[in-house]
Amino acid sequence: MEIKTVGIVGAGQMGSGIAHVFAMAGFDVQMTDISTDSLAQAIDLIARNLERQVSRGKIAENADKAAMARISTTDRLIDLGSCDLIIEAATERETIKVAIFEDLVPHLAPHTILTSNTSSISITRLASRTDRPEKFMGFHFMNPVPVMQLVELIRGIATDETTYKTLLGVVEQLGKTAASAEDFPAFIVNRILMPMINEAVYTLYEGVGSVSSIDSSLKLGANHPMGPLELADFIGLDTCLAIMNVLHDGLADTKYRPCPLLTKYVEAGWLGRKTQRGFYDYRGEVPVPTR
């Protein structure tokens, strides 16, 4: 089927980034969020990011205005029901995602494809709470969405081939690259990335190295663009902990046990960049390690 209209649930960092790339690719986009302030902030962020792309010559003059004209917002979830494709990009908590899909189902068009941007939660389980598990997939974008090239496509046990091929075509229209993953905890990227971050936190917890030495070692010794603790702050420590818990619970292997120090930071509300404190303190002009 041809996808023309896209509904996005959630106006946070991921939702706004997804809206940005879909609008630039020529899709009509409708965003919703329980917070009208979040919707306004998302529109402002998208506009600023598009203007920056124009100023740097990344996109053509006036392409930003054309893209913004394709984005609309609503605070009513049910308004998305007529969209060809819906992407849920809400908080990484299964109860929240399930509630969203259950509220959406009675208002969906028969052809609508449902997807989740979840980074770790079972697609099969989410799909089972809808009326169309065959038209349900994981559609996992990387952060920041306008910059990162990869999209993970995750089929649940009931996902049909038409749905998969349709979304494969959508990824191509976005100018991105798809990686197909099986529906196991955390899929591909986070199955590999999060244990590395968790091990970096253990390395800090056990006193093997400081925040600075751990990040410098991976940047200079493994040629990583960001150190693992810096990256954890960028992702959000609560998200990192949630994914480690999904891995630990879903695979029942002690190698996925979240580091107690990671749990402690989340308990303190030090979640990284979004709260101004994590493994670094961002309240000054230059980030300063907190340990």
CB 67 within 8 A of CB 47: no
Clarify whether residues 28 and 170 are in a common domain: yes
Total number of domains constituting the chain: 2
CB 272 within 8 A of CB 193: no
Clarify whether residues 166 and 205 are in a common domain: no
Distance CA 86, CA 81 (A): 8
Distance CA 57, CA 182 (A): 38
Clarify whether residues 42 and 146 are in a common domain: yes
Clarify whether residues 248 and 230 are in a common domain: yes
**How many CB atoms sit inside 10 A of residue 36's CB?**
12
CB 164 within 8 A of CB 155: yes
CB 5 within 8 A of CB 30: yes
Clarify whether residues 194 and 228 are in a common domain: yes
Clarify whether residues 225 and 283 are in a common domain: yes
In the prediction, which pLDDT does 212 show?
97
Sign of CA dihedral 187, 153, 117, 230: positive
Contacts (Cβ under 8 Å, ≥6 apart) of 223: none
Clarify whether residues 177 and 198 are in a common domain: no
pLDDT single digits (tens) 197-252: 999 999 999 999 999 999 999 999 999 999 999 999 999 999 999 999 999 999 99
Q: 92 falls in which pLDDT band (50, 70, 90)?
A: confident
Domain range for 10 is 5-181
Clarify whether residues 33 and 151 are in a common domain: yes
**Which residues are tagged catalytic?**
119, 140, 152, 190
pLDDT single digits (tens) 113-161: 999 999 989 999 999 999 999 999 999 999 999 999 999 999 999 999 9
In the prediction, which pLDDT does 214 show?
98
Q: Pairing mode, if any, of strands 150-155 and 136-141?
A: antiparallel
